[in-house]
Structure 1
Amino acid sequence: MRVILGSSSIVTPPPSPPPPPDSQTHHHHHHHRPKPKSKHSRRLRNLSPPRAASSSRLSTAQWDLLTSRHKYHADLASKLAEDGRLQEFAMVVESAVVSGANASKFASMLSVELVSSGISRNLIEGRIWCVVEVLKKLDKLGVPPLKLFDGSALDLLKRECQRIVDCGEVEEFVDLIEIFGGFQFRIKELGDPCQIVKLCVDKRDANSAIRYVCVLPHAHIRFCTLIHEFGKKRDLVSALTSYEASKENLTGPNMYVCRTIIDVCGLCGDYMKSRRIYEDLLTQNITPNIYVFNSLMNVNAHDLKFILQVYKDMQKLGIVADMASHNILLKACSLVGRVDLAQEIYMEVKHLESKGVLKLDVFTYSTIVKVFADAKLWQMALRVKEDMLSTGVIPNTITWSSLINACANAGLVEKAIHLFEEMLLAGCEPNSQCCNILLQACVEACQYDRAFRLFQSWKQSKTEETPVEGSDGKTDRISSVEDKQKHHIIGTPNFVSNSGHLRFAKRFTFKPTTTTYNILMKACGTDHHHAKALMDEMRMVGLFPNHITWSILIDTCGSSGNVEGALQILRIMHTTGINPDVVAYTTAIKVCVKSRKVKLAFTLFAEMKRNHIQPNLVTYNTLLRARSRYGSLCEVQQCLAVYQDMRKAGYEPNEYYLKELIQEWCEGVITDNNQNQGKLTSYKRTNFRRSQSLLLEKVAVHLQKNTAENRAIDLQGLTKVEARIVVLAVLQMIKENHSLGIPLKDDMLIILGPIKSGANPARHNSEVTDAITKLLQDDLGLEVLLDRLALDESVDPENPLDSDHNLEEIIGSKELHIELESSTRRPAILQRLKVTKKSLHIWLQRRSTV
């Protein structure tokens, strides 16, 4: 008899074992015989045998018959799987297991070849989730899915997983990996962990990345990789999320992970977060190891006070500092310029080395050399070199570069070149930075010719022996090609020749950088064409000019007096795709100021502001020093606006210099009328030691007022000389406005300040009052009235201008007599001077006729 299963026909199994003699199951079994099913039906008939007796009561023949039946079911299931009918395959397996078959033994009866063939067919057709559902069902039945895959099926599974990864479906891939990980598959074989982690990081998908890492072996290492990858992307939020997940998924705190997240905090520039992580560890009574401490100190190396405290914490916790710890301390000293402390640490580690506790490495020596180099202590740097050679430590490229830099910073070009030769003789290959240090030393010493000869010899060192000038003044042979190149580079005027030996015992590979060409362009001085040729050569060797390159070119062109050419270079920067930065604009502004084109400089400054480029300290100082004197009110207002903008930006301007210029402009009120010219010198030479901020702010406020406003001059808080400058500044503005046809509408009122309770009004602030009265009456011939007014109780007598009342309202209120009637609460008295409108008109007319 055949049972129809879809389109396939399968032979029926052998009969079931006979029942016991007293059993009446034969008729019952016959009564429930299933009927044949339709061709299109997907449901299987119940293949379960009748309830068998207990295993202890089964005979050998019955066991053989039962095994034969399970074998038949296994063959049936295998053939169904081979046809790709995995759902029906799972149903047969489920039926056999439910009927009493041992899942593990039944799985061994299945044909792995046939089942794998069916799985492969489904994978090829892209039905991976169908395979997953079947495997999940088998896993619940106790049939290990891993045993159903042969090599071919595994390869197809890997290929399908890779396809999903290539499509960027990270979340789907992770879902699969979590499932197959539960099936005991080797997860690493289903995808490259590095590629998957990188893909998750690129997508900023921290959740999928964490889920994937958790199913991988050696999860702590994978978490470190994940956190570090997020750090390289400057994604600190995702890195911290991964760190928190590691604490939840790993058994106990892992110092590798702690160290990595602290390093990432430094990489992302959030050193405060690294400190909080450290504090959390201490709060949880977790003692970090030496590597965590070193990372923490390295990230916070800019804060010497903090890392010294961390160093003390190490000692309290019993953590012995290693060589890296001391190297980081030296690095911190180098960053903040603490030469004294660096020397102490250096002597301490030398002492520990003598006792055999530590062994100084090349990094230690290089760091201490850098400390001395930055402090221009070249002799001490050379002593360190002798120390390291005596202990058998070989200087590396960084050490030699620091030594050369120490001499270069001190202006010892010959000594720096000698060290460079010594470096080559020692067999150490110099890098581009080392060569650039040497070139920079030559340029700063104005040895431009030597810089170009060094550069040319290094360029040719790779191909053939370079003819260089020896100490005896003789010159070796030179190839015709090199001769042409050398003539092109150094055959220009205005270079200072320096006869020093440039012979190097060993050739080395020299790769110039953009910085190399920038240094050489500085050596061109005012030769704009030579600098332009170097920029073209830079492009030919595959380097690209940066902002510094363009700024040097602008400066070189401007130094030759070609201001228009310098500004044209500034415009060309836009066309090359490099937007001028603050350095380029400042350089152009300096060129304009040097050529006395101040208006053009201020035009560039306004253009900077429009382009949202924040000026720096050099920009502001260049503009404030653009004029040696002021000729008009507009110029003063322009410079005061720059001064105020500079203060708002957080810079400290040279207020004394600006005050001197404004004072000179103000004194023009007197000197233009040829009156009391001698007093100008005495006031101008007055030495002001305190800050001039208040004075300049007062001048700026009054000069920026609308010409139609009342002239109320506030002199509170100023000395008599400062008060004189403010008053003269307002008078100078009135004079210039009058010359432009702007009429004077009101009296000029000068606020001297409130009279304190109990003070004699006649003596209050007499010094400032006398000085200003004398200036207005004697020097300028103006009519001055001294009067006082009572302030409302709501007005602060110490600072009436900060109250809710308008100054003009206060000044225009009812005048009071000096002898006020006594009362229980006297109002505050504000003392002021008044220069009448009529007097000012007479003064202006008198000046216009002079």
Structure 2
Amino acid sequence: MARGTSTHSFFKWKVGTRKAPGRTFLSSTHLRERWIVARALDTHDHEDATLVTSTPPFRRPTQAKEKKKGIDECEAEEWLRKREVEVSQLYQLRQLGRKTLLRGDIGQFLWIMCTMYHKGWVTTISACGEKPETIVKTVARKGSVEDALRAMECLPPSHKCFHLLIETFGKKKKWSAVLKIFRKLEQHETLKPNKHTYRYMISAAANCERSRYAKGIFRSMAIVGVKPDVYTYNALLHALGDDIEEISALSQTMKQHCDPDRVTFNTILNVYARIGGAESALECMHCMKLAGLEPDIDSYNAVYQAFFQDKKVKEAFELKAEMVTRGINPDLRTWSVFLRGCGRAGQIEEAFTVWHDLQDTGQKPNEHCYNSLMSSCLDGDGCPQPERALQVFRQMTVEWEAPPVVSFNIAIKAASYLHDIQEVESLLAQMHSCQRDPSLQTWSTVVDAYAEVRDADGAQGAFQQMCDRGIQPDAVTYTSLIKAYVSVGRVGEADEIYKKMCVGAQEQLPRKKTYNTLIRGFRESGDVDRAMQLYQKMRERGFSPNNAEFRALLESSADMACTTLASDSMESSRATFDQIEWSYLLPPAVRDRARMRGDKIAACVDLHGLSTIEARAAVLCILRALMQLSRNGRTVQSDLVFITGAGNRSAQSCPSMDATESTSDPPLRSAVTKLLRDELHLSMDVPEEVVAEAPGVNARLHRPRSPANRGRLVIRKGVLEDWLRTKRERVLGAG
């Protein structure tokens, strides 16, 4: 090859257009070096070529650019006090505002950017380099509603930003903040709520569990002339929760304005999945097909859950086979539903069959599948199998290096069922080795595990570890700790924990189980008065009565008190009511009526809302007060009436009950009647008719009559006086 040809071909691609795209311009020094290399290669003088190529090219000495150092808050505060700043200073302030936003210092960000905005240095706080939507999301997620509204004042007006605020605070379950944002939008000069705003408001109400507000917002749309679309209807269906009657009515109204979509039907199906109703779920799916919408995998999963809620396992498997024939294969959610549903139905073996079918499909089970199978082993319809749950967990640890916290919680609960406290401690240590932080549920399960083995000190130690880690205990944790102390007879310390639970910065509302545990502890320790006070507290908080515990309280009180109301027909264990302060056991409304007020006792005692055992206590408390009045020489002033809740008003509130034609008495009325007639030998009667005089008409000639009120049990004044005299003479004779 000729020299000239070779040298020219070497330079051909370098020389030419200096600004050609993708090419690098070489200086004269670089070109000369390239030329020497080419000549050396043509003459086979490799030494010169090596010498030139090994020598670094000549470069002009350039000064390295110094990296600009950011300012701190002190410099920023000094600059923000000025009336004007330089361009470079303005740039650094913007950069500092962006940094404070990214690290979550919302107060510092708003102070910097809002000050610049109000001074007129920037037209919007998005001058920091972030989009307005990003700023709004970050401020709403990490700041307060006041911070968010302050940021909105320094941003261009936008419906989207207001909607982001409503959505974010709705997910945070801060309904008062959502209302503030909505009012701010209503008062805006240029923006007004549109149909999307109302949809976001309804969704926020659903997240905050405010169905009443969601319905009110939907009704207000018609007032302001905003027509709801299918998305708004879907949001309201979700907000209605499990109220299937209102959901059905709304779906009928929806058909008159817009066509339902797949989300509409899936929302209704999810309601049946929570409350049950397999037949209704199938009917809803049939309507979905008639509307031209094919059910998807989410639709089928919801119907499966409805079947398992009704414990129709066979029908669920038949529907699954039908789904497969339609070309829809089960996903991991489907397998998880079947695993959990079989366990709740008490069919653990069937759950393991489903597990093997899942493995045969080649799908890798996720954490929900493992957790569903372990939970099924602990359900067992009264026969849990915690050993198999632990085996599944060990299998999970082989495939998962670090199982999730929920899986550890289920495994710890299984070990608690076995009363294996060493396994519980081992699982807790394994969590730390897997770098999994125990949650509140984890510590509550651990405390309950110590309570099951009656280790109060161990439970207290686990409780203290939880508090040291900064986790605030809830009512479940406190109840487990109280259970641990009650199990070893340390009811005084358990009562102190209960008092600490009800007051202070970490106040928690006790659960019904909390009260039952304490009541049982004080009753077994002999402190019946404290047990009665706790029972009263439980009823005042609206919890349903525990008849078994109440009956045990009556028996304990009977054993401790003296018998002064004994009669031949009454058992000795029931002859202690005269010495017991029964008013402690009654709700406030009944307790106020049951107590003496000077020389009188209430002529009418309402027993609505009481259990049969509590109603007995109320009746005996009234009679005890009357006996005390009789011993002091006082006389009965009027008839005594007990309202048992089986009268005319109760019949009107319950269409299935006919007060005039009913052949069987309600349990409460029967119990009170049995107490008065059979045990205390008090004759009573039910008014055959209630007479109401018509105004302006002679009462003797015209007396309109209403049906008999069978819910009122009346003890006449004379009968009551004779009964009290007999009891007083019997007590004096025994003395």
Between the aligned residues of both structures, percent identity stands at 23
Q: 2:340 pairs with 388, 405, 415, which one?
A: 405
Residue pair 1:711, 1:747 contacting (<8 A) in 2 also:
no
Deviation, 1:373, is 2.4
Instruction: Give the match for residue 605 of structure 1.
Output: 498
Listed as ranges, the matches of 1:237-252 within 5 Å are 239-240=178-179, 243=182
Q: 1:456 pairs with 373, 394, 406, which one?
A: 394
Deviation, 1:326, is 0.8
How many Å separate the matches in 2 of 1:197 and 1:662?
62
Instruction: Give the match for residue 791 of structure 1.
Output: none
How many Å separate the matches in 1 of 2:369 and 2:341?
12
Instruction: Give the match for residue 571 of structure 2.
Output: 680
* SS in structure 2 at match of 1:521: helix
How many Å separate the matches in 2 of 1:128 and 1:696?
68
* SS in structure 2 at match of 1:754: coil
Residue pair 1:227, 1:242 contacting (<8 A) in 2 also:
yes
Deviation, 1:400, is 1.8
Distance 1:613 1:280, change over 3 A: closer
How many Å separate the matches in 1 of 2:224 and 2:550?
58
Listed as ranges, the matches of 1:404-423 within 5 Å are 404-423=339-358
How many Å separate the matches in 1 of 2:189 and 2:271?
36
Deviation, 1:407, is 0.5
Which consecutive residues of structure 2, in runs of 5 or more, have no partner in the other structure? 1-77, 100-107, 608-614, 641-714
Counterpart residue type for residue 654 of structure 1 = N
Distance 1:697 1:382, change over 3 A: closer
Distance 1:371 1:562, change over 3 A: same
The one-character-per-residue Cα deviations of 1:422-472 (angstroms, maximum 9, x if unpaired) are: 2333344433232112112223333222222211122112xxxxxxxxxxx
Listed as ranges, the matches of 1:435-450 within 5 Å are 435-445=370-380, 446-450=384-388
Counterpart residue type for residue 387 of structure 2 = D
Distance 1:664 1:126, change over 3 A: closer
Listed as ranges, the matches of 1:22-421 within 5 Å are 161-166=94-99, 168=109, 169-172=112-115, 174=117, 191-198=130-137, 200-201=139-140, 202=143, 204-211=146-153, 213-214=155-156, 219-232=158-171, 234=173, 236=175, 239-240=178-179, 243=182, 254-317=194-257, 319-352=258-291, 357-421=292-356
Deviation, 1:417, is 1.9
Instruction: Give the match for residue 13 of structure 1.
Output: none
Distance 1:551 1:534, change over 3 A: same
Deviation, 1:582, is 2.1
The one-character-per-residue Cα deviations of 1:28-73 (angstroms, maximum 9, x if unpaired) are: xxxxxxxxxxxxxxxxxxxxxxxxxxxxxxxxxxxxxxxxxxxxxx
Residue pair 1:301, 1:328 contacting (<8 A) in 2 also:
no
Distance 1:696 1:625, change over 3 A: same
Distance 1:416 1:285, change over 3 A: same
How many Å separate the matches in 1 of 2:196 and 2:206?
16
Distance 1:387 1:523, change over 3 A: same
Listed as ranges, the matches of 1:713-732 within 5 Å are 714=601, 725-726=620-621
Counterpart residue type for residue 170 of structure 1 = M
Residue pair 1:522, 1:552 contacting (<8 A) in 2 also:
yes
1:638 paired to 2:533: no
Which consecutive residues of structure 1, in runs of 5 or more, have no partner in the other structure? 1-124, 134-152, 462-508, 687-691, 735-745, 758-762, 783-842, 844-850
Instruction: Give the match for residue 526 of structure 1.
Output: 419
* SS in structure 2 at match of 1:279: helix
Instruction: Give the match for residue 499 of structure 1.
Output: none
Q: 2:480 pairs with 564, 584, 587, which one?
A: 587
Residue pair 1:404, 1:438 contacting (<8 A) in 2 also:
yes
Counterpart residue type for residue 459 of structure 1 = T
Instruction: Give the match for residue 550 of structure 1.
Output: 443
Distance 1:268 1:527, change over 3 A: same
Distance 1:173 1:426, change over 3 A: farther
The one-character-per-residue Cα deviations of 1:271-301 (angstroms, maximum 9, x if unpaired) are: 4443333222211332221112212222333
Distance 1:551 1:246, change over 3 A: closer
Counterpart residue type for residue 452 of structure 2 = S
How many Å separate the matches in 1 of 2:123 and 2:457?
72
Distance 1:564 1:165, change over 3 A: closer
Residue pair 2:273, 2:304 contacting (<8 A) in 1 also:
no
Residue pair 1:170, 1:208 contacting (<8 A) in 2 also:
no
Deviation, 1:347, is 2.6
How many Å separate the matches in 2 of 1:750 and 1:514?
71
Aligned residues: 551
Counterpart residue type for residue 171 of structure 1 = C
Counterpart residue type for residue 443 of structure 1 = L
Distance 1:158 1:583, change over 3 A: same
How many Å separate the matches in 2 of 1:609 and 1:519?
29
CA-atom RMSD in angstroms: 4.8
Residue pair 2:522, 2:530 contacting (<8 A) in 1 also:
no
- The structure with the larger Rg is 1
Instruction: Give the match for residue 66 of structure 2.
Output: none
Distance 1:240 1:670, change over 3 A: closer
Greater mean alpha carbon deviation, residues 419-428 or residues 591-600:
591-600
Deviation, 1:552, is 2.9
Deviation, 1:388, is 2.3
Residue pair 2:522, 2:531 contacting (<8 A) in 1 also:
no
How many Å separate the matches in 1 of 2:560 and 2:89?
94
Residue pair 1:531, 1:553 contacting (<8 A) in 2 also:
yes
Q: 2:729 pairs with 750, 754, 777, which one?
A: 777
The one-character-per-residue Cα deviations of 1:608-666 (angstroms, maximum 9, x if unpaired) are: 345543221112223334467796xxx33212211221122121223575256436634
Instruction: Give the match for residue 37 of structure 1.
Output: none
The one-character-per-residue Cα deviations of 1:676-726 (angstroms, maximum 9, x if unpaired) are: 78731695899xxxxx98984699979x99xxx999795855799868944
Deviation, 1:731, is 13
The one-character-per-residue Cα deviations of 1:355-387 (angstroms, maximum 9, x if unpaired) are: xx1121121112122222233222232233223
Residue pair 1:431, 1:510 contacting (<8 A) in 2 also:
no
Distance 1:261 1:615, change over 3 A: closer
Instruction: Give the match for residue 717 of structure 2.
Output: 765
* SS in structure 2 at match of 1:382: helix
* SS in structure 2 at match of 1:402: helix
Distance 1:560 1:130, change over 3 A: closer
The one-character-per-residue Cα deviations of 1:110-165 (angstroms, maximum 9, x if unpaired) are: xxxxxxxxxxxxxxx989999999xxxxxxxxxxxxxxxxxxx9x99876644454
Instruction: Give the match for residue 749 of structure 1.
Output: 632
How many Å separate the matches in 2 of 1:127 and 1:721?
77
Residue pair 1:527, 1:557 contacting (<8 A) in 2 also:
no
TM-score (norm 1): 0.55
Residue pair 1:667, 1:680 contacting (<8 A) in 2 also:
no
Residue pair 1:301, 1:329 contacting (<8 A) in 2 also:
no
Distance 1:623 1:230, change over 3 A: closer
Residue pair 2:304, 2:337 contacting (<8 A) in 1 also:
yes
Residue pair 1:590, 1:622 contacting (<8 A) in 2 also:
yes
Distance 1:177 1:365, change over 3 A: farther
Deviation, 1:529, is 2.1
* SS in structure 1 at match of 2:156: helix
Residue pair 2:478, 2:497 contacting (<8 A) in 1 also:
yes
Distance 1:663 1:630, change over 3 A: farther
Distance 1:537 1:282, change over 3 A: same
